[in-house]
Chain A
Amino acid sequence: MASALPPLALAIVAIGFPIVLTNPFFIALANQVFLNAAVAVSLSVLLGTTGQLSLGHAAFVALGAYGSALLAQHGVAVPASILIATILVGLLGWGLARLFLRLAGYYLAIATLGVGLVVAVVLRNEKEITGGIDGLTVEPLALWGADIYSEVVWYYILLAALTLIIAATLTLLKSPAGRALRALHDAETAAIALGVDTLRLKVQVFVYSAALAALMGALYAHYVGFISPNAASFHRSVEFVMMVVIGGIGSIAGAVLGALIITLLPVTLADFEQFETLVAGSILLATLIFLPEGLVRPVKRIWRRRVS
């Protein structure tokens, strides 16, 4: 079947990548892409179904990272610390969503923005706990008694995490709950009349999104071994939004592609640092003006037309 071809090719490339390209720089870059892609997927689901913009996803990532790091510092085993941190951020997301989703409009966007501000301020200023702007050294992930430092092992861990998140998200979108989610943006009233508790569903998807961001943040912390308050900045949050928009709001493949582009951009512009904001902004602006559906959907349409 023609439609099975691209995923299969993609899987072979993904698994074979570190075997062919052994340069640790490229592998580290790939790891960054996976981390960002997973967060972008979580944000894309939120944005694509509820139409709610989160301008604080970086804060959720940072909270996951700091949370797991601090728990590990206080003696919690590392895989368990990741889980606990993820759950705690999920709870925070639940509280926020309950408070701000009652209101129509873009209040949740503002709330996430506020959370971002507060988290950044706290991380920067509570030196005794977070290490302030100097950041925090994080303990490595230990599996079966062995600390994991290898870029290649992390490559497969993060690849597996991203794959699982994508699989779970796609499964969700095909489930009854997912169908209701997809109906939210242009048939919400109908969904309510058919027994969908839309508020609850929106809260759930927000919690899911925040928790995934925290999970990736925690993985990131243990992978890199160091975190700083920059991870929570508004700028980072906007980057996640950019990944989603460039790929196409609501598109999973688009989120991954967007993550790829935005992650690689600073690398390609390494010698022109002063142009980074301008170029990133221009790419986003151009996408919104000329490809409002993002990069993936038009390509898919053309592909489908060629196949049929």
Chain B
Amino acid sequence: MDLAILQFLSSGITEGARYALAALGFTIIFNASGVINFAQGESIMLGGLISAILVQAGWSLPVAILAAVLCATLASILLQKISLRVLQRSGILTVIVLTVAFGMVVRGTVRAAAGTSTMTLPHFSSAQPLSLMGATILPQTLWVIVTALLVLAILGWFFECSRMGRAFMATASNAITAQLMGINTKMVLLLAFTISGIVGAVAGAVTAPITYTSFDAGVMVGLKAVIGAILGGMGSIPGAVVGGFLLGIAEALTAGYVSSAYKDAVSFLMVVLVFLVRPNGLFGRPAVERV
């Protein structure tokens, strides 16, 4: 195989992991509440940037990351509290705009507090590239891949096997009937935002050494997450993961073979193409609407 393609694939998978985890967080929230969360990228930004700031302030890396994850999770929970309140009064469209506003507030707060400079996190292990089948790969890339797989495995187990996970799936498919099963659906909603915050922040922290981070780093990732989730089929959890990875790889290949400037355009073209063939995304099911 072409050496270059290995190189592109490895960077595509790194980027894809970020998109996949963000898309996953997005889908979890969408399933539990129907909210399209345009602030999804902010937990990734918070995870990366707060870790970086704390490490710079002399904290040890694991503690810094833990603190960053905690912050991002609290932000996510705050968003849940606000959107629940707004949802009850004004409907889903307003909540979607609300997530945009919330993203701005988070970005604005970080900017006011920490400025606009780009920051980075030290590599978790060595920064020396490894040679793998002739291609060079950063050890951090392996960290990213392993972390992503670990998170996916844990969530997979959670949704398929655990009691709370089943309760989540039940709520996602029919919230009212879920209440009749004795499930506290408000709790499930809170859980969804919590998981989404944790997953995003972890993704942000683990990719920060490679991608760098700044106060506005979350905007693009967040938008790509939405696109990845739609690519895979709105509401499908495996779809979100696959869509995210596909998007990352497609972008890396475009950057490598076409032009790095146009990698941001790929996402949209992919969505258009998929929609022409499968209007419900790769893993989506057509909705049966009854009047």
Direct contact of A and B (CB under 8 A): yes
Which residue of A111, A114, A115 has the most chain B CB atoms within 10 A of its CB atom?
Answer: A114
Bitwise, A95-115 to B at CB < 8 A (1) or not (0) is 000011011111101110111
CB distance from A216 to the nearest CB of B (A): 22
Q: Which residues of B contact A121 (CB under 8 A)?
A: 261-262, 264-265
> CA A128 – CA B259 in complex, angstroms?
16
Q: Tell me the A34-55 residues at the B interface (CB within 8 Å).
A: 47, 51, 53
Quick check: is B9 within 8 A (CB to CB) of the other chain? no
Q: Which of B101-109, B128-136, B165-173, B198-206 contacts A (4 or more CB under 8 A)?
A: B101-109
Smallest CB-CB separation from A115: which chain B residue? B268
Partner among B36, B115, B267 whose Cβ is within 8 Å of the Cβ of A274? B115
Quick check: is A11 within 8 A (CB to CB) of the other chain? no
Q: Which residues of A contact B115 (CB under 8 A)?
A: 274
Smallest CB-CB separation from A103: which chain B residue? B279
Q: Which residues of B contact A110 (CB under 8 A)?
A: 226-227, 230, 271
* B275/A100 in contact, CB under 8 A: yes
> CA A249 – CA B104 in complex, angstroms?
19
> CA A118 – CA B36 in complex, angstroms?
21
Q: Which residues of B contact A103 (CB under 8 A)?
A: 275, 279
Q: Which residues of A contact B104 (CB under 8 A)?
A: 238, 277-278, 280-281, 284-285
Q: Tell me the A139-197 residues at the B interface (CB within 8 Å).
A: 189
* B36/A106 in contact, CB under 8 A: yes
Partner among A100, A113, A281, A289 whose Cβ is within 8 Å of the Cβ of B108? A281
* A99/B275 in contact, CB under 8 A: yes
> CA A249 – CA B92 in complex, angstroms?
13
Count B-side interface residues using an 8 Å CB cutoff. 47
Q: Tell me the A250-307 residues at the B interface (CB within 8 Å).
A: 274-282, 284-285, 288-289, 292
Partner among B96, B219, B234, B272 whose Cβ is within 8 Å of the Cβ of A53? B96
Quick check: is B100 within 8 A (CB to CB) of the other chain? yes
* A279/B97 in contact, CB under 8 A: no
* A238/B223 in contact, CB under 8 A: no
**Residues on A facing B (Cβ under 8 Å):** 47, 51, 53, 99-100, 102-107, 109-111, 113-115, 117-118, 120-122, 124-125, 189, 234, 238, 241-242, 245, 249, 274-282, 284-285, 288-289, 292
10 A-B pairs closest in CB distance:
A278-B108, A281-B104, A114-B268, A277-B108, A281-B105, A292-B90, A284-B101, A125-B261, A285-B101, A118-B265
